[in-house]
Homo-oligomer: A and B are copies of this chain.
Amino acid sequence: MNFGLIYVFLKNKGIVFFNKFRTKTYLAKMKNKSQILIKRPEGTPEMETWKLVENEVPKLNSGELLIKNHYISLDPAMRGWINSSRSYIDPVELNDVMRAGSVGEVIQVEGQTKFKVGDFLSGWGGVQQYSVSNGEGYFKVDPDKAPLTQYIGTLGMPGMTAYFGILEVGKLKADDVVLVSGAAGAVGSIVGQIAKLKGATVIGIAGGKDKCDYIVQELGFDGAIDYKNESVFKGIKTHCPKGIDVYFDNVGGEILDNAMIFLRRNARIVICGAISQYNNTEVKGPKNYMSLLVNRASMQGMVVFDYAHKYGEAFTDLATWIKEGKVKSKEDVYEGIENFYDTFLRLFNGDKMGKLILKVKENND
């Protein structure tokens, strides 16, 4: 008997009812597949970094929720979380479920809880089918207002990062020339579109013709540089003849160094990520950093969590822009907890378009 399907049926009919007894029977038979961190990688993570395990879903304590994860967010930042050192957030502990953003549905509660059964929530569900939580760090989302996947994309952390990164850290002005790397990615694509709709000239750097065509033809960027097939230096020189006012960096390495050559007076570099360096044991520092002095420019790091008190404002703006067709996004969805590793690697080899998502299989068997 498939309790999952029965649950879905009941929920669709609006008849969701669990009594305590029923719930526990239900749970006793439920299995939870998860990806456990078992090794700290050096360089590019090997498959043995994580282990797929299947355990019974634990019994809920009072105040806890059981959340069925629908979509799991795969983000470059995850590479940093599995290093041993504390970064802006504690590392994932060995033998813990791999940390990940997620969106899912409350399917059971115990006692007094922050959310109720049937609520859709976004939060830190981890790379697993089911999450147990007291609700902290979760917030309710409305699947009627936007597809669930957008709550871990343009209306989630990547969107918030883009919004506060370009507007607050980048101090965007209408006549700025903006260069963004990782321009077809979840953050970069939104950065560019926000900058465009604020009046800036926007050039994106992306890998391959498809991505470059996408950001220009579908997202309305003013130009694209294909770092896999052309010189980034020449590309910037051609597309930004007067130089760059804001460089929004998701990649680091050679591209950051090239961008630095073209900084204009008082330019701002937003350090959002450095995906080209995450798997290096020795990071390549930007050798052209003295361009900051020559051009009185600044380079500033950001972590999106600092803007949590203003997520509402960003959410409203982004939702409006999406509705108006001014901000578009693409999602690249792969399926199955067991396929986490292969999907994760796509973050680093560039083999994905837009927001990378792992879908939890509908039928959890």
Q: Which A residues have a C-beta under 8 Å from some C-beta of B?
A: 87-88, 252, 257, 271-274, 277, 282-303, 306
CA distance A276 to B295 in the complex (A): 20
Instruction: Please tell me if the beta carbons of B284 and A295 are within 8 angstroms of each other in the complex.
Output: no
CA distance A199 to B306 in the complex (A): 28
Instruction: Please tell me if the beta carbons of A289 and B285 are within 8 angstroms of each other in the complex.
Output: yes
What are 11 A-B residue pairs whose CB atoms fall within 8 Å in the complex? A271-B289, A282-B287, A283-B287, A285-B289, A289-B299, A291-B301, A293-B301, A293-B303, A296-B303, A298-B301, A299-B300
Instruction: Please tell me if the beta carbons of B282 and A285 are within 8 angstroms of each other in the complex.
Output: no
Contacts of A301 on B, CB cut-off 8 Å?
290-298
Contacts of A88 on B, CB cut-off 8 Å?
293-296
CA distance A298 to B285 in the complex (A): 15
Copies per complex of this chain: 2
For chain A, what secondary structure do more than half of its interface residues adopt (helix, strand, loop), or is it mixed?
loop
CA distance A273 to B273 in the complex (A): 26
Min CB distance A67 to B, Å, is 29
Instruction: Please tell me if the beta carbons of B272 and A293 are within 8 angstroms of each other in the complex.
Output: yes
Min CB distance A78 to B, Å, is 15
Contacts of A277 on B, CB cut-off 8 Å?
290
Instruction: Please tell me if the beta carbons of A288 and B290 are within 8 angstroms of each other in the complex.
Output: no
Contacts of A303 on B, CB cut-off 8 Å?
293-294, 296
The verdict on A271 contacting B290 (CB below 8 Å), with A298-B298, A301-B297 known, is yes
Pick from B282, B290, B295: contact of A274, CB below 8 A.
B290
Contacts of A284 on B, CB cut-off 8 Å?
285, 287
The 5 closest A-B pairs by CB, nearest first: A285-B285, A293-B301, A292-B301, A285-B287, A298-B300
Instruction: Please tell me if the beta carbons of B283 and A290 are within 8 angstroms of each other in the complex.
Output: yes
Min CB distance A312 to B, Å, is 21
CA distance A123 to B286 in the complex (A): 35
CA distance A296 to B303 in the complex (A): 7
Q: Which of A273, A274, A301 has the most CB of B within 10 A?
A: A301
CA distance A286 to B284 in the complex (A): 8
Instruction: Please tell me if the beta carbons of B285 and A296 are within 8 angstroms of each other in the complex.
Output: no
CA distance A302 to B283 in the complex (A): 25
CA distance A88 to B274 in the complex (A): 28
Instruction: Please tell me if the beta carbons of A299 and B299 are within 8 angstroms of each other in the complex.
Output: yes
CA distance A284 to B257 in the complex (A): 12
Instruction: Please tell me if the beta carbons of B87 and A294 are within 8 angstroms of each other in the complex.
Output: yes
Closest Cβ neighbor of A298 among chain B residues? B300
Instruction: Please tell me if the beta carbons of A289 and B286 are within 8 angstroms of each other in the complex.
Output: yes
CA distance A253 to B186 in the complex (A): 34
CA distance A286 to B274 in the complex (A): 14
Contacts of A296 on B, CB cut-off 8 Å?
88, 300-303, 306
Pick from B290, B291, B299: contact of A292, CB below 8 A.
B299
Closest Cβ neighbor of A300 among chain B residues? B298
CA distance A294 to B300 in the complex (A): 10
Closest Cβ neighbor of A77 among chain B residues? B293
Contacts of A292 on B, CB cut-off 8 Å?
271, 299-301
CA distance A297 to B252 in the complex (A): 16
Contacts of A283 on B, CB cut-off 8 Å?
287-290
Min CB distance A245 to B, Å, is 15
